[in-house]
Amino acid sequence: MSDLQCASRIVLARHGEAEYESDLLTDEGGSLTHLGRRQAVELAEKLAGRKVAHVWTSTLARAVQTGEIVAATLGVAVSTRSALDEFSCGEYAGLPRADDPFAETYLRWLEGELDTRAPGAETGTEGIERLRATLSDIADQYRGESVLVISHGGLLRLGVPALARMSGIEMTRLDNCDTIEIDIDGDGWVCRSWG
C-alpha cells in the first residue's frame, strides 16, 4: 500500500476557554481561563489511549497553551503553525468586541459567499485554502498515525465542512476543546466525528 493510501487521522480541536486582555477586536491575545485549562486536561485524558504522534497548534496564545497542556500529558512534542490561526479581523481591529462587525462577513461565508472579504482581511476561500494546505502537509508527515491539531472555532467550522464536502453541519456548534476527527489520504478527506 502506498503512503498516499495510508490515511492520517487528524483530531482537530478548538482551544480551551480564553479571556482577552481587551474588549477591542484584535488578532492577538487570549489566555486560558481556569476552565480552559481544565478543558485542556480533559481533552488530554480523552486522547490518552489514542497514541497521538504530535500536537500542532496555531501561534495564538490560547491555542498554544491548550496544546502544551495536552502534549505534556500525552508525552509528545508540540509545534506551532501560523496557518492554523483564526481568521484576521483586518481593519476591524480596535473596534469594540461586542459590536463585532466581522460577524457579518463570517455569516456571509457560511451562506456560501466565500469570496466576501472584510476590509484588510482574507476571504473565506483563502482561509479554507490555508487550512487545506496546512492539514495536507501535516497529514503527509504522519501517514498511518494520529495527530492533534489545536485551532479556532471560526476556521474549523467553515473549513472542515468545505474540505470534507459535508453539508448541513456548517452552523453546528463547536465548543471549547470539542473535537472533529478527519481522515486524509490520497482519495480525499472524510469526517469521522464532529463535537
Determine the average pLDDT of the residues in 54-79. Answer: 98
With 80 as the cut, is the pLDDT of residue 169 above it?
no
With 60 as the cut, is the pLDDT of residue 171 above it?
no
| pLDDT given for residue 144 in this prediction | 93
| pLDDT given for residue 2 in this prediction | 41
Domain with 58, as residue range(s), is 3-194
**Sign of the torsion formed by the C-alpha atoms of 39, 17, 59 and 124:** positive
| pLDDT given for residue 99 in this prediction | 85
**Sign of the torsion formed by the C-alpha atoms of 125, 128, 132 and 134:** positive
Burial class (CB in 10 A: 0-12, 13-18, 19+), 194: buried
Which residues make Cβ contacts (< 8 Å) with residue 118, sequence separation at least 6?
A: 88, 89, 90, 91, 92, 101, 102, 105
Q: What is the pTM of this model?
A: 0.93
Q: How far is CA 3 from CA 12, 92, 136, 148, 190, in A?
A: 22, 43, 13, 20, 17
| pLDDT given for residue 7 in this prediction | 87
| pLDDT given for residue 170 in this prediction | 46
Determine the average pLDDT of the residues in 73-97. Answer: 95
Determine the average pLDDT of the residues in 26-55. Answer: 95
Question: 35-49, 75-89, 157-171 — which is least confidently predicted?
Answer: 157-171
**Sign of the torsion formed by the C-alpha atoms of 125, 165, 52 and 19:** positive
Q: How far is CA 50 from CA 38, 74, 91, 176, in A?
A: 20, 9, 41, 20
| pLDDT given for residue 33 in this prediction | 98
Share of the chain above pLDDT 70, in %: 95
Determine the average pLDDT of the residues in 51-66. Answer: 97
C-alpha cell at 146: 494520529
C-alpha cell at 75: 508525552
* Total domain count, the chain: 1
| pLDDT given for residue 13 in this prediction | 98
| pLDDT given for residue 28 in this prediction | 83
Which residues make Cβ contacts (< 8 Å) with residue 107, sequence separation at least 6?
A: none
Q: What is the pLDDT of residues 11-25, one digit of tens each?
A: 999 999 999 988 888
CATH number at residue 187: 3.40.50.1240
* Cβ-contact 158, 63 below 8 angstroms: no
Please state the separation of Cα 172 from the chain's center in Å: 14
Closest by alpha carbon to 180, among 4, 23, 11? 11
State how far the Cα of 11 lies from the Cα of 9, in Å rounded to an integer. Answer: 6
| pLDDT given for residue 6 in this prediction | 82
| pLDDT given for residue 178 in this prediction | 97
C-alpha cell at 142: 504522519
